[in-house]
Chains A and B, each alone.
Chain A
Amino acid sequence: MFEYMPYNLAPWGVEIVIYFFIIGLAAMTFIMAAAPETFGNVAAPFRNVEIPGAVITLILLGISGPLLIADISQPLRFLNPIIYFRPTSPLSWGSVLLLLFGAAVVAFLYGRFFDKPGIRRAAAVIGSLLALSMPIYTGIDLAANQSRALWATPAIPLLFVALSVTSGAGLVAVIQLVTGNFGPDASRMIRTIMAFSLATTFLLVFALVQTMVYGTAELQQAWDAINGEFSVQFWWLGIILGIVIPLILVLVPILAPRAEAARSPLLVAVAGVLGALGAYMLREVIIYAGQLPQLFF
Chain B
Amino acid sequence: MISIGLQAEPSYGVPGKKRWAMVVDLRRCIGCMACVAACKAEYDVPLGVWRTTVQVKNTGKFPNARRNFMPRLCNHCDNPPCVRNCPTAATYKHEEGFVLQRYERCIGCRTCMIACPYNARFMLPRNRTRVGINNVVDKCTFCDHRVSQGLVPACVQTCLGRARIFGDINDPNSEVARLVGTHKTATLKPNKGTRPQVYYIKPDRKSMEQATSAPVSAAARRDAEAFYRHNNGSRFFSAHL
Contacts and interface: CB of A to CB of B under 8 A. Distances in A.
A13 B55 CA distance: 26
A91 interface: yes
Nearest to B210: A3
A81 B107 contact: yes
Interface residues of B, number: 63
A65 B170 CA distance: 46
A145 interface: yes
A2 interface: yes
B56 A95 contact: no
A84 B105 contact: yes
A3 B118 contact: no
A77 B236 contact: no
Contact of A5 (B4, B48, B55, B136): B55
A78 B237 contact: no
Interface residues of A, number: 47
A114 interface: no
A113 interface: no
A91 B5 contact: no
B90 to A, nearest CB: 7
Nearest to B194: A146
A297 interface: yes
Given A3-B219, A87-B5, A147 B114 contact: yes
A145 B85 contact: yes
Is chain A's binding surface mostly helix, strand, loop or mixed?
loop
A74 B236 contact: no
Contacts of B87: 80-81, 84, 86, 89, 91-92, 94-95
Contacts of A67: none
Interface stretch (A127-135, A203-211, A287-295): A287-295
B90 A89 contact: no
Residue from A11, A72, A83, A288 having most chain B Cβ neighbours under 10 A: A11
B173 interface: no
Interface in A268-296: 288, 291-292, 294-296
Contacts, number: 166
Interface in B91-113: 105-111, 113
A191 interface: no
A288 B54 contact: no
A147 B115 contact: yes
B23 to A, nearest CB: 21
Residue from B58, B90, B216 having most chain A Cβ neighbours under 10 A: B90
Contacts of A178: none
27 contacts: A2-B56, A3-B56, A3-B216, A3-B217, A4-B53, A5-B220, A6-B53, A6-B119, A7-B48, A7-B227, A7-B228, A9-B238, A10-B236, A11-B110, A72-B108, A73-B137, A84-B105, A90-B85, A92-B88, A144-B81, A144-B84, A144-B115, A145-B85, A145-B115, A147-B116, A147-B117, A297-B212
Q: Which 8 A-B pairs have the closest CB atoms?
A: A73-B108, A88-B5, A147-B117, A6-B53, A13-B236, A81-B87, A91-B87, A11-B110
Given A4-B220, A74-B136, A80-B88, 20 more contacts: A3-B55, A3-B216, A3-B220, A4-B55, A5-B223, A6-B53, A6-B55, A11-B236, A73-B136, A73-B137, A74-B106, A81-B107, A88-B84, A90-B85, A91-B109, A141-B111, A144-B85, A144-B115, A147-B116, A147-B117
Interface of A: 1-14, 71-74, 77-78, 80-81, 83-84, 86-92, 94-95, 141, 144-148, 217, 288, 291-292, 294-297
Interface of B: 4-5, 31, 33, 48, 50, 53-58, 72, 81, 84-90, 105-111, 113-119, 122-123, 135-137, 192-194, 211-217, 219-220, 223-224, 227-228, 231, 234-238, 240
